[in-house]
Amino acid sequence: MYVSDLIPEFLESLEVEKGRSLNTTRNYELYLNRFYELCSEDSSDELKPNDITPELLRKYRLKLNRFEDSQNHEHLSILTQSYHLIALRGFLKYLSKRGIKSLDPTLVDLPRAAKKQVTFLHFDEVERLLNEIPEDTETGLRDRAIIELLFSGGLRVSELCKLNRDSINLERREFVVRGKGKKDRPIFIDQSTADCIKDYLGCRTDSLPALFLNNSKNLQTPSTSGDYRRLTPRSIERIVQGYARKAGITKHVTPHTLRHSFATDLLMNGADIRSVQSLLGHANISTTQIYTHVTDPHLREVHERFHTETKE
């Protein structure tokens, strides 16, 4: 069998057997098709599984590092290169499971990537952002509810977009979302956020199920699903960035910045990292640990105790 035949079969197994999302499957398809193209350009023969050798891997990594996007003429970041290699490693594991001779998946090492820098808002900055939102219109009530919910619940923007009216128990101020890996986790919100959502829903006259609606007049013909006015992640990103600019916040603020802010606020106020991991829905605690360097109170104590203060 040829690699070009096996890639679609692997993608089907990702979706059916592994339960990966459609977006993840599409990304793997992009990465593996690029692998196939880069590794086939030097040969007229069809690429076979046993053609994937350590030498082919070495050449592929070199080409990947030199690859230039045709649209913006930029090279792939180290993180994006890692995604390509993770997809290849998954494909090789699939071949091994089927007993198809190819490269040992353990030989695919990932490049060392720099740790992500976490951007978050302090509580006073969140308040400045909220103060820019008018509360005398349906759109303003909606936007305030969105931003309060992102900060109070620590949701991913994709999770927030999928919420329906009946998703949230506003009396108990808790609900469950299904996050990455189709894992459920509890979300808790404060009374202020619950009141904002009540105010927003109270002024709506529609019966659509989506919790947050697009109020644009230029809407397409309604679909039978009732989702034709549901806000998209991109729309919410524009909403958040718009109020951040009005508030004079110079940081690059996105919906995910508010998720970062939720996590750092908890840790700065003494929450343990395991609890924050659960509230964020992180599968691995190492993902949560990106916040600890900016929230460790011990470091402040060390600085105040041992650093020599300059005298005027």
**Active-site amino acid positions:** 156, 180, 256, 259, 282, 291
296 C-beta neighbours (distance < 10 Å), count:
13
- In the three-class reduction of DSSP (H, G, I as helix; E, B as strand; rest coil), residue 174 is classed as strand
Following DSSP, what letter does each residue of 247-269 receive, concatenated? TT--S---HHHHHHHHHHHHHHT
Torsion angle (degrees, nearest 10) of CA 222, 225, 229, 232? -140
Closest CA to 292 of 263, 254, 252: 263
Q: Are strands 184-188 and 174-178 parallel, antiparallel or unpaired?
A: antiparallel
CB 174 within 8 A of CB 189: yes
Structural contact between residues 232 and 249, judged by C-beta atoms closer than 8 angstroms: no
Q: Give 186's strand partners.
A: 176
Give CA–CA dist 54/61, Å, rounded.
11
3-state secondary structure of 213: strand
Q: Note the residue count of the chain.
A: 312
Distances (CA, A) of 304 to 24, 128, 223, 294, 309: 46, 29, 60, 16, 9
Distance of alpha carbon 141 from alpha carbon 201, whole angstroms: 9
- Residue 248 token pair: 């004079």
